[in-house]
Amino acid sequence: MKHPFQITIPSSVIDDLKNRLAATRWTDEIENEKWDYGTNKTYLKELCLYWEKTFNWQKQEEYLNSFPQFKTTINKTEIHFLYQKGEGQNAIPLLLTHGYPDSFVRFLKLIPLLTKADESGLSFDVIVPSIPGYGFSEIPTQKGMNTKKIAGLFADLMRKELAYEKFAAHGGDWGSSITEQLALYHESSLLCIHLTDVPFGHGIMPLEDPSKSEEKFQKKTQRWVQTEGAYSAIQSTKPQSLSYGLNDSPAGLAGWIIEKFYTWSDNHRALESVFTKDELLTNLTIYWATQTINSSFRIYHEEIQEIMQAIYNPLVKFNPLNKAGDKTKIPTAFALFPKDISIPPRAYAERFFNVQRWTEMAAGGHFAAMEQPALLAEDIRKFIAAVKYSISTAMSE
């Protein structure tokens, strides 16, 4: 059974954080270096000084606690989730799943845009779980917590705990992978899915008869892996080794995470044109206070093991994440933002998904729900409304 939950970080944890920030031993850097070698030292020192001297965690904690939150135990794993009911009596349940290096805070701007009823009366009951090993969900202590297993936990959260027979689901980054697993293995529970990227695992498999646009996309993706993908290689292979330093140093933690917010967002080389310091530091403080940087890495390691097994399974035809070899039949929409990691051609996505809506946005990046919440909310609404209309029309015939 679910029970209400409020975030309460002890003041001793915040005091220790500030002391560690004050005692940071700063590294050197290349003269006049911007962000080419990683997180810019000048900006990081500014951010860490603000974190130490100005950032008000108590204020952010009060804001986070303004959203109804709960915990429940599913298959021996404690799951933290936000649960905001939509206006009206016929709100559609919508599961939102975050990724790395963010947390449930990815969706805070999106929630009020979805729970409010529009002119037609459409609204959503919004459920935002924390992935196991992230934020306030339980940290896994055994191997095997991959996206397929997480999808099973979230399916049970929606069906057994919250008693929804069918629901829609949205995700980005790892949230896309988890949402795909929901569609593959929990099809009877899914109304539709909405994604902001094609799960990265598909890029590992060679394509059969790729088109020119797909070949171009693959080459671009391979180039990205070579120039920007080292973090993923480390987190997929030896995450424990890296985590010792980041769990001990808040400046180190910030340096590792903030670089992704800079590189993957549509910020025109000005990070705070997209995110405020308070937004960035709220996410960082959650990682720090819960000591979940190591467990957040672990999903990379678990998933690469699953993908390798799928690659060498002779039954696999299309989808490396589905050992039965079929693509999902669930109606799927993609909202793609120009400064995300890599934008695939529609034909590529159609190899793995039943694509019924394809939107290429004019602005935004990897953290779409934080960067362009209104654009994302509108696209989610339009797609789910269309699916709902299609179902009602079919039932009336």
Q: Which of 80, 98, 186, 366 is catalytic?
A: 366
Contact 37, 100 (CB under 8 A): no
Cross-strand bridge partners of residue 339: 365
334 membership: H or E segment, kind and range:
strand 331-336
Please report the DSSP string for 314-339 in residue order. Answer: TT-SS-TT-TT-----SEEEEEE-TB
Contact 253, 288 (CB under 8 A): yes
Q: Which of 100, 300, 340, 348 is catalytic?
A: 300
With vertex at residue 78, the alpha carbon angle to CA 144 and CA 197, rounded to the nearest 5 degrees, is 60
In the residue annotation, 125 being an active-site residue is answered as no
In the residue annotation, 300 being an active-site residue is answered as yes
Contact 285, 241 (CB under 8 A): no
Distance, in Å, from the CA atom of 292 to the CA atom of 20, rounded to the nearest integer, reads 17
Max Cα–Cα distance, the chain, nearest Å:
70
Q: Using only C-alpha atoms, what is the Rg of the chain?
A: 21
Rounded to the nearest 5 percent, the helix, strand and coil shares of the chain are 50, 15, 35
In the residue annotation, 36 being an active-site residue is answered as no
78 membership: H or E segment, kind and range:
strand 77-84
Q: Which of 102, 125, 156, 173 is catalytic?
A: 173
- The catalytic residues are 173, 300, 366
